[in-house]
Structure formats: C-alpha cells, structure tokens
C-alpha cells in the first residue's frame, strides 16, 4: 500500500520535535488567544512586535529534523573528531568521571535543570554540593575561603589581578607581575583584561618578582612545563614588599604538594576539571578561587554560606547576594553572573566519592608513572628541562619531528614548544601500557626500555620528582562528608538525597523572568557525553577536530541567520563575558579607526547589573539614561545625553525587548541616535527568546549582541552554570573579536587577546543549541517565540485582576515576560514580594524573578515550553496567594502571623506539638489540590539572610557539630 505525500507528512509531523518542545497544543492556543480577545496568533504578534522591526520572512534554515534524525546527523559529525590519547596537559587532563556521578548528576535533569540557588529553601541540595566544593578547594589550597566557582582558570586569574588592585591599598603601582611559566592561555586572558583596566604587565621569570615594583603577581604551581619549586621564599618576599600574590595551581598536584596557603599566597586559583569533568574541547569546567579571610568581602562570584532558618536549623544560602553587580554596577570590578555550578558540584562529588585516601592514591599513581617515565628517559640519555615534576615533563634537545611522526602513528598527542622541546602530562587515565607506548614514541623503536623493568628500579631508588621542601604535610578533606560515601550505594543515596531537596524543572515551571527556563530536551543533552565531544583536548591539532569545527561553524551560521549579524564569535563562556568581549571589540574597532578616545557608554537605568559592570571592565565611563513612567527609555534623555557626549560617545547598551518585558516602539530610533553621534550599539541578547523568527537585532540597529545560549538556546542552567555567551557582530567588528594564543581564529586580528581560556569557550555544550535549532527549524523557532509571547500575555491577563501588571506595550500587550507590582499590596497588607516568593514554595513552585528590574515586583517568564495546564496551575497558585493576602488585609490573620510570613512550611512545622497559628497545618503545607497529589517539601524554613551575611561561614560545619 503506497503512502501518499500528505499521509507521509502527517506521519512525519507526529515525530516532530516542535510539539515536544512547545507546551500548548492547538486547542490551548485557541483558548488562550480567545481569552485575550485575539482572533489569531498573527494578531497578537502584530500588536506586540513593532511593524518597523519585523523580519517579514521566514528564517532561512533547513527543514526541522526529528530527534532521531538530528542525533544521527550529529553522530556523523562527531565521528569526524579523532579522539587521540592526550598528553598535552597545559591545564586540561583526561579523567575518569565516576559513572555514579555521570548518570545521577551530569545526565540527570534533577541536577542540570535547576537555577542559581536564589531561593535557598528549595535549593539545599545543590547548596550543600557547592559547599563541599568550597571546602575541598579550601583544604587543597590551604586557604580560608573559596567561592562556588568561576568560569575558567584564565578568567579566575584575571579576576585575581582585579582583586589585587582593589585590595592592595599600599601599592601605588599600576603594574601586575606574571611569571613567565604561567599557562599561555592564562597570560592571554590576563593581558586582555589588564589592557582595559589600564594595568601594565611585567612578564618575567618568577625570581625577578623580588625586585619588581608591582601591585600584585601571578605565579603558576607547578610551572607550565612541569617544574615544582618552593614558592615560599618568593611569596614571603612579595608580602614584605606589599605585593599581593595569586598562585594558579593544579588541583591534583595539591594532593601531594605543599598547599599555597601555607606558603603565604593571598589568592589561589585553578581549574577543577581533572576532578572528574571531561575536557570537552575546552569546557565547561569549574575554576576555583580561594582567598585569605581578609579578602572575603571582595571575592568575586558567588559564595555559599551557612546560616539558620526561622526554627534555628542550620541552613545554607548564597552569601552576600546583594553585593553583586546589581548593587555595585559601574563600580564593580567583576561582572560574573552565570558561573559553573554544575561542574563545581561534579568536582566536589568526585572528592566526596574518592575522599582524601582515594585522591592520594590517584595523585601518587600519576606522580609515580611520571617518575618512572622520567627515570627511563634520563637513563636513555634524554635531557629533562627540570629536575622536579609532579605529572609534567619537558624534554629538551630531542628530535621533535621524529617524535611527532611516531606519536601520530600511535594516535597520541604531545605538547610541542616553540624551541623544539617536547612536553607531556600524565593523568588519572594513564596506564602502564600507555607508558610503554610513550617510551616507544619518545625513544624510537630500539630502546629496549620497559616499564616493568624500570618500575622495580624506581621502587628501589624511591625517587620522586617533588623536592622535599614542596611535599604536603597537612591533612585535608577531614569533614565527615568526605568519608561517608565510599561505596556506590552510599554515594547514590547521597546524591539522590541532595537532589530531592531541590526544586528543578522536573517538578514545576520556574517562571524566572529574564532567565528563560525552557525545556532542556533529553535528545539535546545526549551528545555532550559522547567521547567524540567529551574527550577532546582544547589544544588538539586542527585536523583531529573536524567534527567540532563543522558543528561550531554550522551553529555559528544558524546564529548569524537568527540575529542578522555577519559573524559570530563562539568564545565567551557566559552572557556577561559576551558583554565584555563585545564592548572590547567596539573599543578595538574604534581605536583602529582613530576614535580610541571614545569611552562613554550609555546604559538605561533598568539595565541588568552585568551591563554597567562589563562597561567598567572595558574602561568605559557609564552614563545612565533614564526610563519614563511606562518603563521605556526616555527618548529625550537619550537624545540629550548622546548630544552632550557626542565627541566621546563609544556605545549604548540596550536590552531588547526591554528588561521591563516590552517591545519598545522606539528602538530603531534609539539606535539611530547613537549611530548619528558616532557610537556603536550593543544589544543585550538575554531576551532573544522574544525575538527569534520575528525580528533580528542586526537588522534594527545592533552592531553587536551576546546570546545566552543557556537561556534562549536550551543549554540547561545547571544550578548556576554552565552557560555560553557567543556574540554576533556586524562585519566591521568581526576582526576585533577575541582571538586565542594557542588556537588562532581565522579572520580575527592577531593582537586581539582572548576572553576565555579556550578558543571556543565551553565547546562541549554547543551541541545542545545546535540540536535545538536543527530540530525546530524556521517554523518551529518562530512558533516557539510566538508561544512564549502568548504564554506571557495569557498570564498577564489572568493575573491582572489580582495584581497590577506594571508595563505594557502601546497596544496593551507584553513581550515574553510580565512584571507584577507587589508594592501596593505591601502598603495595604505588609506582605512583601519575598513572602509571596516563599509562599509559592508551599504551592510547589519556584518564585519568579524578585525585585529586578524594579524593586518590590515579580517578573514572570513562562517560556513556550510550559503547557496551559501548568500555567493555569501557576496562576491558580498566585490567585490563591492573593486571596490569602486579602485575609491579611481584612484582619482575619495578623500581619505577623499568617501563612505568608511563615512560608515556606516544612515537615518540621507540621510536627510542631503546639500549633498556635491562626490557620491550620493543612492550609500551611497543602494549600492546593495539586500539592496534595505531589508535594515537594522545602528542606528548611525561611533562611535568615542577615545572620548569614553578618557571620560569614563558608565552610562545611565543623566535625564537632556532627557529633552533637
Ligand atoms: C542573564 C542576563 C545577563 C547575564 O548573563 P550571564 O550569562 O548570567 O552572564 C545579562 N543581561 C540580562 C538582561 C540577563 O537577563
């Protein structure tokens, strides 16, 4: 029986991913449109998106693929990558991700779909995971404090430089010292950052630090070519000269080496990748950042701290949340927002699973294999550049060409230095057999060397590459958490227990405005652990990464089409990094055309805090443009300020649709005004989910935008990272985006320094966005945008009777999110936006974005992935809460004793022997039918923020507390 074309198309439609990604079906859409008095989706969109910026055509993309087709195609691309055994080292090492962690964390939506733990009562699981990470970093580095991750080692080093400058009040110098054995990619990123902060760099052998007039210094431990030296005397003399010091350390080596904290370092940074996180062609992995206690109030990024809940129970939270860019804005020296929470959790769990003994075994084994290799090579007359090592050797006076030829035949990658030296690093996955192969490769065929013979000799001689003065003497990972979970059964249950404390997308919608918590489809996630993507070293030779190159090129081409820009740079690791990279590209371009003096950046008052912080980091002066009563940019104020600063106007940073959730009609005009005064237009692409397929920033006036791939393009938020923030640029800016010292990027000026440690940022999560676009196609992507807008308008409509909707466009619609105003209710009832946020937990929901961009409001973004059923459930909860507020207003419940101020309710509340509250236990914990059917319990009662900040504790509770 022949299938006709129509039937075939129907069958294909059944497989279509579009209907899996999008929540509302056809009937829902009709009903939701009817509730808005709209006769069609086109009418809604016509009334919402200004006509003068509409794309007016379908995006030019291939037809949508099914999940099976897309995975099949991507597998063929992935297989073009050739996974060689990597000994390149240089900050990235192969590792064994324990399968129990791989399956239950990395591949588990209960972990990867969570958001940054802003609501601690429903985030105690990942907060504990991150606290473990901090404790692990503190123990291994010997420092008093550690944050919960940064983007990569190179940016962490750049942050350390900024912190040194800020904290070192004694030094008048503007010069920062970088030891010449620092990793090249770190130097590249530090150089970029220094240039725009206005710092000089002094790159010299570490010993010259003693005579340098500098405010701070960066040293590598062990040095990039493997040398292990006692940094103690250098750090001590620096301290005496008033120089602040940062040590970039290899985390595995710290298991055996003396911890930098005990040697006198002020800051220790590094990459935790080799603690179980795949190399992934450069990322994502979590960098760590540890400091002395003195620096605790200026440490960049997020710190998890210990506090108490309203019952006095120990509870974790993000410390000093308000200290972020949103408060410091243009005075911030760091713009870090999204970091690497998921990867920090994985590295922390690796340490929990192995414990100190396990890590010692792993590190000793790595060191021993390296020692065997070093001994065997020297016996055969090979000269080593250093007589000390942990896991890295540098061979000098060898025939690099011949070694290279043999290594290729064995599918091995080594490191080749410019001077002809050959380097290699041993890792956790290296075996004795690998060492035999390495002898063959390094010595040629007739060497007669073998590990088994040598091994005995080495044991006999008990040689070590670690000088006596550098051996670690202190213990580490002594907290019970690092002892208890050694069997897989125990570990599995620990991971599950933590997961169960957290609310993620597996439970309910997370309506966080500006964060776009949409579906992270399983099919999109599957490729990231394929070895062809996961096991690639970022500095693998070009001809081994053809698959990555094709995937990245295709994704870049998609994004060019979606944004209307001419070129995409795939380097920035987050939205904020993209902002920085984009502004720096603007400044480089302006310098190249003789306009380098332009340094004013106009930023609307409603902007996200990363905008002014990024501008400050690009050495720009921020001038704030006011918004009018409707939340739109005040066109008059913009004109006036552009005029006033015409000669020095560098750029404007706009968010579109605005952070108020509105498609401003005047955006084209705003861009024109800035262009007329010689400025460039940066459009913050965080709200791209309202634009895809309908309008393009590159068409209506943008010169550059970042795209948060972890918002619009389905990379999961991971509980606070990873992310990717590639930037789209118009052609004139393309030569000025970030280059990379190890992996030069075609078409970019050689002098343009890097912003990330790896050339393509966190490349291994790019397949997620690639797959999303591939499976949605042009119609699917446009449909997603339309539905995101429909869902937001539907919510605004359902809630406006109960809560005022703050901003709307000219025709009374909102974009993909809406802001409801809680301030009037606070006046009438005393109930705050925070009480509502906590009460939502009792109803089984995560709160919307609180008090951004307007204090005292909630910003709701449903995304297209939420069904009408779920959205109604959320609206019902909000309406239920409004009824409760009415009862407070009416005096039925006292303002200080009602289910809102006591929210969230925990099992401990229900067990209370004397319940004296004016409402029932049932109303407290089970306010809706939905939660009776499936209850997600907040793990703790409301967490005390003030206490947590006053007595800042960022380590695991002491062992004594466990004894109590
Ligand atoms: C999320 C967001 C950013 C920052 O992006 P990160 O990836 O978290 O660094 C910047 N601007 C706006 C409007 C955002 O919503």
Position 8 scores a pLDDT of 62
Has residue 964 got a pLDDT over 60? no
Position 589 scores a pLDDT of 98
Q: Is 576 in the pocket of ligand 1 (CB under 6 A)?
A: yes
Is the dihedral angle over the CA atoms 688, 690, 692, 695 positive or is it negative?
A: negative
Nearest CA, atom 7, ligand 1: 575
Position 1 scores a pLDDT of 46
Distance of CA 660 from the midpoint of ligand 1 (Å): 14
Write the CB contacts of 918 (distance below 8 Å, at least 6 apart in sequence).
Answer: 892, 893, 894, 897, 898
Position 959 scores a pLDDT of 58
Q: How far is CA 149 from the centre of its chain?
A: 9
Least Cα distance to 435 among 417, 452, 415 occurs for 452
Distance of CA 687 from the midpoint of ligand 1 (Å): 9
Position 738 scores a pLDDT of 98
Looking at residue 40, the DSSP 8-state letter turns out to be S
Which tokens belong to 513?
Answer: 């405005």
Burial-class residue 2 by CB neighbours within 10 Å (0-12, 13-18, 19+). exposed
Distance of CA 684 from the midpoint of ligand 1 (Å): 8
- Comparing 345-354, 444-453, 480-489, 610-619, the range with the smallest average pLDDT is 444-453
The number of the ligand 1 atom at minimal distance from the alpha carbon of 708 is 7
Distance of CA 657 from the midpoint of ligand 1 (Å): 13
> Between the CA of residue 302 and those of 254, 612, 850, 869, what are the distances in Å?
23, 19, 18, 35
Least Cα distance to 815 among 37, 125, 49 occurs for 49
Has residue 843 got a pLDDT over 90? yes
Beta carbons within 10 angstroms of residue 402's beta carbon: 12
Distance of CA 438 from the midpoint of ligand 1 (Å): 46
- Reported in sequence order, the residue ranges of 437-583 that DSSP labels E, i.e. its strands, are 567-569
The SS3 call for residue 115 is: coil
Distance of CA 662 from the midpoint of ligand 1 (Å): 17
Residue with tokens 């997308």: 505
Distance of CA 783 from the midpoint of ligand 1 (Å): 24
Q: Is the bond preceding residue 237 a cis peptide, omega within 30 degrees?
A: no
DSSP string, 518-545: ----HHHHGGGGSHHHHT--TTS-GGGB
- Distance of alpha carbon 803 from alpha carbon 14, whole angstroms: 40
- Distance of alpha carbon 270 from alpha carbon 418, whole angstroms: 25
Identify whether the C-beta of residue 384 lies closer than 8 Å to the C-beta of residue 216.
Answer: no
Pocket residue to mutate for ligand 1, from 708, 727, 863, most atoms within 8 A of Cβ: 708
Domains of the chain with CATH codes: 11-79+503-786+800-815 (3.40.640.10), 120-353 (3.40.640.10), 358-470 (3.90.1150.10)
Has residue 446 got a pLDDT over 80? no
Could you tell me what percent of the chain has a pLDDT over 90? 90
Q: Using pLDDT thresholds of 50, 70 and 90, give the confidence band for residue 945.
A: confident
The number of the ligand 1 atom at minimal distance from the alpha carbon of 659 is 13
Pocket residue to mutate for ligand 1, from 336, 610, 762, most atoms within 8 A of Cβ: 610
The number of the ligand 1 atom at minimal distance from the alpha carbon of 336 is 9
Q: Where are the alpha helices (DSSP H) in 702-765?
A: none
> Helices 341-379 and 432-443 meet at what angle, rounded to 10?
50
> Between the CA of residue 938 and those of 264, 509, 897, 901, what are the distances in Å?
42, 16, 19, 15
Distance of CA 335 from the midpoint of ligand 1 (Å): 10
Distance of CA 84 from the midpoint of ligand 1 (Å): 36
The number of the ligand 1 atom at minimal distance from the alpha carbon of 607 is 13
Nearest CA, atom 8, ligand 1: 338
Nearest CA, atom 6, ligand 1: 575
Distance of CA 116 from the midpoint of ligand 1 (Å): 12
Distance of CA 374 from the midpoint of ligand 1 (Å): 48
Q: Using pLDDT thresholds of 50, 70 and 90, give the confidence band for residue 956.
A: confident
Position 251 scores a pLDDT of 98
- Distance of alpha carbon 776 from alpha carbon 61, whole angstroms: 10
Has residue 929 got a pLDDT over 70? yes
Least Cα distance to 347 among 430, 269, 287 occurs for 287
- Distance of alpha carbon 871 from alpha carbon 862, whole angstroms: 7
The number of the ligand 1 atom at minimal distance from the alpha carbon of 578 is 9
Q: Is 658 in the pocket of ligand 1 (CB under 6 A)?
A: no
Has residue 322 got a pLDDT over 60? no
Which tokens belong to 340?
Answer: 């690497």
Pocket residue to mutate for ligand 1, from 155, 512, 514, most atoms within 8 A of Cβ: 514
Is the dihedral angle over the CA atoms 956, 958, 959, 964 positive or is it negative?
A: negative
Position 453 scores a pLDDT of 67
Query: Tell me: the pLDDT tens digits for 882-893?
Result: 999 999 999 999
* Helix or strand run (H / E) with residue 757: none
> Between the CA of residue 297 and those of 148, 301, 595, 617, 748, what are the distances in Å?
14, 11, 38, 19, 38
Distance of CA 530 from the midpoint of ligand 1 (Å): 29
- Distance of alpha carbon 257 from alpha carbon 276, whole angstroms: 20
Q: Is 684 in the pocket of ligand 1 (CB under 6 A)?
A: yes
Which tokens belong to 741?
Answer: 């010292």
User: Is beta strand 392-396 parallel, antiparallel or unpaired with respect to 383-384?
Assistant: antiparallel
Q: Is 659 in the pocket of ligand 1 (CB under 6 A)?
A: yes
Query: Tell me: the pLDDT tens digits for 47-85?
Result: 999 999 999 999 999 999 999 999 999 999 999 999 999
Position 854 scores a pLDDT of 92
The SS3 call for residue 761 is: coil
Write the CB contacts of 339 (distance below 8 Å, at least 6 apart in sequence).
Answer: 148, 149, 150, 151, 286, 301, 302, 574, 720, 721
The SS3 call for residue 743 is: coil
Q: Is 514 in the pocket of ligand 1 (CB under 6 A)?
A: yes
Provide Rg for the chain, Cα atoms: 28
- Distance of alpha carbon 177 from alpha carbon 204, whole angstroms: 8
* Helix or strand run (H / E) with residue 203: strand 200-204
- Distance of alpha carbon 662 from alpha carbon 815, whole angstroms: 5
Write the CB contacts of 647 (distance below 8 Å, at least 6 apart in sequence).
Answer: 597, 598
Residue with tokens 């970042």: 706
The number of the ligand 1 atom at minimal distance from the alpha carbon of 577 is 9
The number of the ligand 1 atom at minimal distance from the alpha carbon of 725 is 7
- Distance of alpha carbon 481 from alpha carbon 485, whole angstroms: 7
Q: Is 574 in the pocket of ligand 1 (CB under 6 A)?
A: yes
Q: Is 685 in the pocket of ligand 1 (CB under 6 A)?
A: no
Identify whether the C-beta of residue 252 lies closer than 8 Å to the C-beta of residue 391.
Answer: yes
Q: Is 291 in the pocket of ligand 1 (CB under 6 A)?
A: no
Q: Is 904 in the pocket of ligand 1 (CB under 6 A)?
A: no
Which tokens belong to 18?
Answer: 């579009």
- Distance of alpha carbon 329 from alpha carbon 623, whole angstroms: 12
State the distance between the two ends of the chain, measured CA to CA, in whole angstroms: 75
Looking at residue 220, the DSSP 8-state letter turns out to be E
What is the Cβ-side half-sphere exposure of residue 957, based on CA atoms within 13 angstroms? 13
Q: Using pLDDT thresholds of 50, 70 and 90, give the confidence band for residue 24.
A: very high
Nearest CA, atom 5, ligand 1: 575
> Mean per-residue pLDDT for 208-232?
97
Identify whether the C-beta of residue 86 lies closer than 8 Å to the C-beta of residue 545.
Answer: no
Query: Tell me: the pLDDT tens digits for 162-183?
Result: 999 999 999 999 999 999 999 9
For all residues of the chain together, what is the average pLDDT?
95
> Mean per-residue pLDDT for 510-537?
98
Tally of residues, the chain:
964
- Distance of alpha carbon 112 from alpha carbon 108, whole angstroms: 6
Has residue 462 got a pLDDT over 60? no
Distance of CA 653 from the midpoint of ligand 1 (Å): 13
- Distance of alpha carbon 360 from alpha carbon 254, whole angstroms: 10
Distance of CA 574 from the midpoint of ligand 1 (Å): 8
- Distance of alpha carbon 678 from alpha carbon 313, whole angstroms: 58
Position 10 scores a pLDDT of 63
Q: Is 608 in the pocket of ligand 1 (CB under 6 A)?
A: yes
Nearest CA, atom 14, ligand 1: 686
Q: Is the bond preceding residue 588 a cis peptide, omega within 30 degrees?
A: no
Query: 895-901 — which CB contacts under 8 Å span 24+ positions?
Result: 895/829, 895/830, 895/831, 896/830, 899/839, 899/842, 899/923, 899/924, 899/927, 900/831, 900/835, 900/836, 900/838, 900/839, 901/831, 901/835
Q: Pick the residue with more confidence: 543 or 449?
A: 543
Q: Is 569 in the pocket of ligand 1 (CB under 6 A)?
A: no
Pocket residue to mutate for ligand 1, from 326, 512, 576, most atoms within 8 A of Cβ: 576
Is the dihedral angle over the CA atoms 617, 618, 621, 627 positive or is it negative?
A: negative
Has residue 460 got a pLDDT over 70? no
Q: Is 708 in the pocket of ligand 1 (CB under 6 A)?
A: yes
- Distance of alpha carbon 166 from alpha carbon 168, whole angstroms: 6
> Between the CA of residue 535 and those of 96, 283, 532, 539, what are the distances in Å?
10, 11, 6, 12
Identify whether the C-beta of residue 626 lies closer than 8 Å to the C-beta of residue 674.
Answer: no
Triad 553, 555, 559: Cα angle to 5°:
115
Nearest CA, atom 2, ligand 1: 686
Looking at residue 105, the DSSP 8-state letter turns out to be I
Identify whether the C-beta of residue 722 lies closer than 8 Å to the C-beta of residue 344.
Answer: no
Distance of CA 830 from the midpoint of ligand 1 (Å): 31
Has residue 571 got a pLDDT over 90? yes
């Amino acid at each position: 029986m022949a299938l006709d074309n129509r039937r075939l198309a129907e069958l294909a439609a059944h497989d279509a991913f579009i209907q899996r990604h999008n929540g509302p079906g056809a009937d829902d859409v009709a009903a939701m449109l009817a509730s808005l008095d709209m006769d069609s989706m086109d009418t809604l969109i016509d009334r919402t998106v200004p006509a003068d910026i509409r794309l007016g055509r379908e995006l030019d993309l291939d037809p949508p693929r099914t999940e099976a087709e897309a995975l099949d195609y991507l597998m063929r691309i992935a297989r073009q990558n050739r996974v060689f055994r990597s000994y390149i080292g240089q900050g990235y090492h192969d590792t064994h991700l324990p399968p129990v962690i791989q399956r239950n964390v990395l591949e588990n939506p209960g972990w990867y779909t969570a958001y940054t733990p802003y609501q601690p009562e429903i985030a105690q699981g990942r907060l504990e995971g991150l606290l473990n990470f901090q404790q692990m970093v503190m123990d291994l580095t010997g420092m008093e404090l550690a944050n919960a991750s940064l983007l990569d080692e190179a940016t962490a080093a750049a942050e350390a430089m900024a912190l040194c400058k800020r904290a070192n009040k004694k030094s008048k110098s503007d010069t920062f010292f970088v030891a010449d054995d620092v990793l090249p990619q770190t130097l590249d990123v530090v150089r970029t950052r220094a240039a725009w902060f206005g710092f000089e760099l002094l790159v010299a052998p570490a010993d010259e630090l003693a005579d340098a007039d500098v405010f701070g210094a960066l040293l590598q431990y062990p040095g990039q070519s493997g040398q292990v030296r006692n940094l103690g005397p250098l750090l001590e003399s620096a301290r005496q000269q008033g120089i602040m010091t940062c040590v970039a350390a290899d985390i595995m080596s710290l298991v055996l080496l003396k911890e930098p904290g005990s040697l006198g370092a002020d800051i220790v940074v590094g990459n935790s990748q080799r603690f179980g996180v795949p190399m992934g062609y450069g990322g994502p992995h979590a960098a760590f950042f540890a400091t002395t206690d003195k620096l605790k109030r200026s440490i960049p990024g997020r710190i998890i701290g210990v506090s108490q809940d309203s019952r006095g129970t120990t509870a974790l939270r993000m410390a000093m949340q308000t200290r972020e860019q949103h408060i410091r804005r243009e005075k911030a020296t760091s713009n870090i927002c999204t970091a690497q929470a998921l990867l920090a959790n994985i590295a922390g769990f690796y340490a929990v699973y192995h414990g100190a003994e396990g890590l010692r075994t792993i590190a000793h084994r790595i060191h021993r294999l390296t020692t065997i290799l070093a001994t065997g090579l020297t016996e055969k007359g090979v000269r080593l550049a250093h007589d000390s090592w942990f896991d890295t050797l540098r061979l000098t006076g060898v025939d690099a060409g011949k070694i290279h030829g043999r290594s290729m035949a064995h599918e091995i990658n080594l490191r080749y230095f410019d001077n002809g030296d050959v380097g290699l690093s041993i890792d956790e996955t290296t075996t004795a057999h690998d060492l035999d192969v390495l002898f063959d490769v390094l010595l040629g065929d007739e060497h007669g060397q073998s590990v088994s013979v040598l091994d005995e000799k080495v044991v006999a001689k008990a040689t070590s590459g670690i000088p006596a003065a550098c051996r670690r003497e202190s213990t580490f990972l002594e907290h019970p958490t690092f002892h208890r979970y050694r069997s897989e059964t125990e570990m599995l249950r620990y991971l599950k227990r933590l997961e169960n404390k957290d609310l993620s997308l597996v439970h309910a919608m997370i309506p966080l405005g500006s964060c776009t918590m949409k579906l992270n489809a399983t099919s999109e996630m599957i490729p990231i652990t394929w070895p062809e993507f996961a096991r690639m070293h970022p500095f693998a030779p070009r001809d081994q990464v053809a698959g990555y190159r094709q995937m990245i090129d295709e994704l870049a081409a998609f994004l060019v089409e979606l944004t209307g820009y001419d070129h995409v740079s795939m380097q920035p690791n987050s939205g904020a990094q993209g902002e920085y990279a984009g502004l720096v590209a603007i400044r480089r371009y302006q310098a190249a055309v003789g306009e380098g003096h332009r340094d004013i950046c106009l930023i609307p008052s409603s902007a996200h805090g990363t905008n002014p912080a990024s501008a400050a980091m690009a050495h720009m002066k921020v001038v704030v443009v006011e918004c009018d009563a409707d939340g739109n940019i005040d066109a008059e104020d913009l004109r006036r300020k552009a005029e006033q600063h015409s000669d020095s106007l560098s750029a404007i940073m706009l968010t579109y649709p605005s952070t108020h959730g509105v498609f401003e009609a005047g955006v084209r005009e705003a861009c024109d005004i800035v262009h007329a005064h010689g400025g460039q237009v940066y459009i913050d692409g965080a709200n791209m989910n309202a634009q895809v397929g309908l309008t393009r920033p590159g068409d209506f006036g943008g010169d550059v935008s970042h795209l948060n791939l972890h918002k619009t393009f389905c990379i999961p938020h991971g509980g606070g990272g990873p992310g990717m923030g590639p930037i789209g640029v118009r052609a004139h800016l393309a030569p000025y985006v970030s280059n990379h010292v190890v992996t030069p990027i075609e078409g970019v000026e050689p002098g343009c320094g890097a912003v990330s440690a790896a050339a393509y940022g966190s490349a291994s999560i790019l397949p997620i966005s690639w797959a999303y676009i591939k499976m949605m196609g042009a119609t699917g992507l446009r449909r997603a945008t339309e539905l995101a807008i429909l869902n937001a308008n539907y919510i605004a409509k359902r809630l406006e009777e109960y809560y005022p909707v703050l901003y709307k466009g000219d025709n009374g619609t909102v974009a993909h999110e809406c802001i409801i105003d809680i301030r009037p209710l606070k006046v009438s009832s005393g109930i705050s936006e925070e009480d509502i946020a906590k009460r939502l937990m009792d109803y089984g929901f995560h709160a919307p974005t609180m008090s951004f961009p307007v204090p005292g409001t909630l910003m709701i973004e449903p995304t297209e992935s939420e069904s009408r059923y779920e959205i109604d459930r959320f609206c019902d909860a909000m309406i239920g809460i409004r009824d409760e507020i009415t009862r407070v207003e009416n005096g039925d419940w006292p303002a200080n004793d009602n289910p809102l101020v006591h929210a969230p309710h925990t099992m401990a509340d229900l067990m209370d022997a004397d319940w004296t509250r004016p409402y029932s236990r049932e109303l407290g914990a089970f306010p809706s039918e939905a939660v009776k059917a499936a209850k997600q319990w907040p793990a703790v009662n409301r967490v005390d923020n003030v206490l947590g900040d006053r007595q800042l504790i960022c380590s695991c509770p002491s062992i004594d507390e466990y004894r109590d």
